[in-house]
Amino acid sequence: MREVRMTFGQHLEELRKRILFALLYVVVGVVVALAIEKPLMQITLKPHQQAFRKAQKKKLLERLDTHLEDLRAIGVSPDDSGEGGRFSDTDWQVLFKGEVKRKAVLRELSAPFESFAGKLEQLLPSLPQEERALFEEAYREQGASLAAAIDERFATLGEFESVSEIPRRFKTLENNLRALKKDSVRTDDFLLGGWGEDLEKPIRELEEFNQSLDSRREKVSASELTIEKLEEVGSDSEIEAHLLGSLRGLDEIVEGMQATEEARIMVISYLEQFYTHLKVAIIFGLLLTFPFVLYEAWKFVGAGLYKSEQRYVLTFLPFSMALFALGAFFGYTILIPVALTFLATWGGSDIDLAFTLGNYIGLFFTLTLVLGLVFQTPLVMVFLNRTGIVSVQGFRKSRRMAILIGFISSAFLTPPDPFSLLLMACPLVLLYEIGILVCRLMNLARKKNDEEDED
């Protein structure tokens, strides 16, 4: 660019002209951004959705493990008598009182047939013994068949059940978890079923608990316990209320695992949604028109620079923009999702996740800007070296201090977890080393040019 000498008034007129053009570019960019606002908002919200889903998955698994821990505290296994557990044998008998009631009804229904079969010898003394034995067996079978039919009918009406509601619901839970695990082969999105091996341990524990319930039911069925005695000794049992409470919690967790809707974000006022979307459109409009605005600024400032200064600006400006874009991309794809996941999972598993749109957008663009500026480190080092403020040897001697400052800065700029800190500190250290290398190469090139000029 050639040097142009202008009066003060001409400078003001040129400045006004460039500002107007820059504002025009920005307005056009914001209008375009508003026209495609929905896709831009989806792009902006993607890190939140990733973090929300990971956090929700972790919380659901923690809550599932907590409820299963309560079942483990009962102390029952398929090969265990249950002694030493939370509930006694009487409690388990109360749980399967439907089985005791069913046996009592079957005995009452079969009793007349058994009685009649036992009197056949007196009623039919002339009947051969073999034929009488066949007749007795057929009569007993007829009684058992009638009792079974009535048993099935009563169970359908809910009068009594061979297996109580609670064991069936636990079995349904196990089947639902198996279905979720099976669905993981079709998608890696955990809200759509991609739970993988995370459900292996809960499924195994539920399977063992269901086996223990089957073992208990068989034990109660084989006993000679009567319903009258059971109601007398088991009136104060809390086993049903306890297991129903566990089932309610487990049902809620499985329903959350089966949910298929997107990770949502809240607004707490009518204006928040409008202003936030407008803010996103303005920021993206500025990003879209930034090269044009920069060109207008260069048209004004570059006219007052010497050719050597113009050469430096034209050399370093593209690298600065590229490093800023690299830093923003690094934050968008890696650092920001990790940081948000840590923040979302902080606290207990029973805390519901609910985030506001305005707070998220502010945090997102703040971290993006910080990372874009942090990635300018090599250019700052090159500037300090070219101006003679710090030499390459000075950068090398200050390496330990620079690493310490990098980690301290990362601790302040990122959420207080080691993963986010390392994700920012490690690139800072790497950028510092790159800056030293670039300064050294540029010094060698300048020294070589000086030697060629002397020759």
What pLDDT score was predicted for residue 236? 66
The average pLDDT across 34-60 equals 87
Q: What is the pLDDT of residues 184-204, one digit of tens each?
A: 544 444 444 467 778 888 999
Which residue has tokens 């223990």?
Answer: 212
Is the pLDDT confidence value at 255 over 50?
Answer: yes
Confidence of residue 163 (pLDDT cuts 50, 70, 90): very low
The average pLDDT across 392-403 equals 86
Q: What is the pLDDT of residues 267-323, one digit of tens each?
A: 888 888 889 989 999 999 988 898 888 888 877 777 666 676 677 777 778 888 888
**Side-chain half-sphere CA neighbours of 192 within 13 A:** 7
Q: How many C-beta atoms surround the C-beta of residue 327 within 10 A? A: 24
Q: How many C-beta atoms surround the C-beta of residue 318 within 10 A? A: 9
Is the pLDDT confidence value at 159 over 70?
Answer: no
**Structural tokens at position 125:** 């003394």
Q: Which amino acid is at 440?
A: R
The average pLDDT across 392-419 equals 80
SS (H, E, C) 238-304: CHHHHHHHHHHHHHHHHHHHHCCCCCCCECCCHHHHHHHHHHHHHHHHHHHHHHHHHHHHHHHHHHH
CB 184 within 8 A of CB 193: yes
What pLDDT score was predicted for residue 329? 92
**Structural tokens at position 245:** 């409470």
CB 48 within 8 A of CB 268: no
Q: What is the pLDDT of residues 57-115, one digit of tens each?
A: 888 888 898 888 888 777 554 444 444 466 777 777 777 776 776 666 666 656 666 66
The average pLDDT across 386-409 equals 84
**CA distances (Å), origin 191, targets 45, 92, 261, 348, 397:** 17, 36, 8, 20, 51
Phi/psi of residue 416, each to 5°?
A: -75, 60
What pLDDT score was predicted for residue 190? 45
Percent of the chain with pLDDT over 90: 7
The average pLDDT across 46-64 equals 86
pTM of the model: 0.67
Query: Exposure of 421 by Cβ count < 10 A (0-12 exposed, 13-18 middle, 19+ buried)?
Result: buried
Is the pLDDT confidence value at 119 over 70?
Answer: no
What pLDDT score was predicted for residue 260? 55
| Residue 159 Cα to chain centre, angstroms | 44
What pLDDT score was predicted for residue 157? 41
Average pLDDT, the chain: 77
Among 45-54, 159-168, 237-246, 407-416, the least confident range: 159-168
The average pLDDT across 135-152 equals 67
